[in-house]
Structure 1
Amino acid sequence: MASLDAIDRNILRLLRLDARMNNVKIAEEVGLSPSACMRRIRIMEDSNVIRGYTVLADTASIESTIAVIINITLERQTEEHLDRFEAAVQKHPEIRECFLMTGGSDYLLRVEVANAGEFERIHKEILSTLPGVLRIHSSFSIRNVLATRIKSRR
């Protein structure tokens, strides 16, 4: 897809605020007809600018989970090592997020666990077997202060 114009960026902004906003409302907000707006959204979906839609749930109220933030340092930062690591991470649904980082570590991962025993299993069976890992540094969250900046529907 070519670079995004101001209208595309505005559509993305609106969808980030409320992914359930209907197309007619989005079109009205950005000054397009509903069909033109839907065409732009579909193009962004087809080109993976929009990779999907999701629900942000308060996992603490649904289930007792602990977010674990994991810093990973690789043995080498070559393209081959980065690609192998990223391909391996994508095979494990336990890993909720993975970011390539600058600074002290190469990657930041987020997993959610019910308890320390579950994290020990993930550490032993997944994290320590990922290709090229030199160092793993994990931190357990105390509580989530801010998950997103979307407006509340209440």
Structure 2
Amino acid sequence: MPRKPDDIDAFDRAILRILQRDNKTPQRTIAEAVNLSAAAVQRRIAAMEKSGVIAANVAIVDPEALSLGVTAVVEVFLRDERTASIDRAKTLFRGTPEVQQCYYTTGGTSFVLIIVTAGMRAYEALTRRLFSDHEWVASFRTLVALDRVKSGAELLVP
């Protein structure tokens, strides 16, 4: 069960700031930075992992290092907003590794996706699989990124 914001104190927030920059920071280094014992830091990190505050520990990989040169922001428009259509889209997008991020949105666009592929041919094949082959997708609009100015997963911890 996720902790409430009131349950996250100043020590937890300081620990989160450090872990978001580098989750391999040794606990003794974190402890020194936040004025706690290493054991206390370890307990707090474990509690935040158990409660879901820390959702995952991952490596952020540079797509270019893997020859993944196309990043696209895609707006998806569903034919209708029935629960079945929305649930089908969510399931499909969640299960597609090229979809890096997926947001169910308001304002006329049903979903906004961040997609990374090796090239335009791979992107075209993916759009056929994700959009053209499903009658519940009305249309989609693609914005191809020219340059990645900023990318990350670090949240502002007040």
Q: TM-score, normalised by structure 1?
A: 0.80
Q: Secondary structure at the match of 1:57?
A: coil
Q: Which runs of 5+ in 2 are unaligned?
A: none
Q: Which residue of 2 aligns with 1:2?
A: 3
Q: CA deviation at 1:127?
A: 3.3
Which of the residues 26, 48, 61 maps onto 1:57? 61
Alignment of 1:1-154 (within 5 A): 1-4=2-5, 5-6=8-9, 7-129=11-133, 132-148=136-152
Percent identity over the alignment is: 25
Q: Is the 8 A contact 2:131 2:139 kept in 1?
A: no
Structure 1, 88-97 or 71-80: larger mean CA deviation: 71-80
Cα RMSD (Å): 2.5
Deviations 1:87-140 (A, max 9, x none): 221111121111233434222111112221111110011233467422211111
**Length-normalised TM-score, structure 2:** 0.78
Residues 50, 141 of structure 1: CA spacing in aligned structure 2 closer, same or farther, 3 A cutoff?
A: same
CA distance in 2: counterparts of 1:76 and 1:26, whole angstroms: 49
CA offsets, 1:33-59, max 9 Å, x none?
212211221222223222212222332
Count of residues in Structure 1 that have an aligned counterpart in Structure 2: 150
Gaps spanning 5+ residues in structure 1: where? Answer: none
TM-fit CA distance, 1:64: 4.9
CA contact (8 A) 1:85 1:130 kept: no
* Counterparts in 2 of 1:21 and 1:72: CA distance versus 1, 3 Å: same
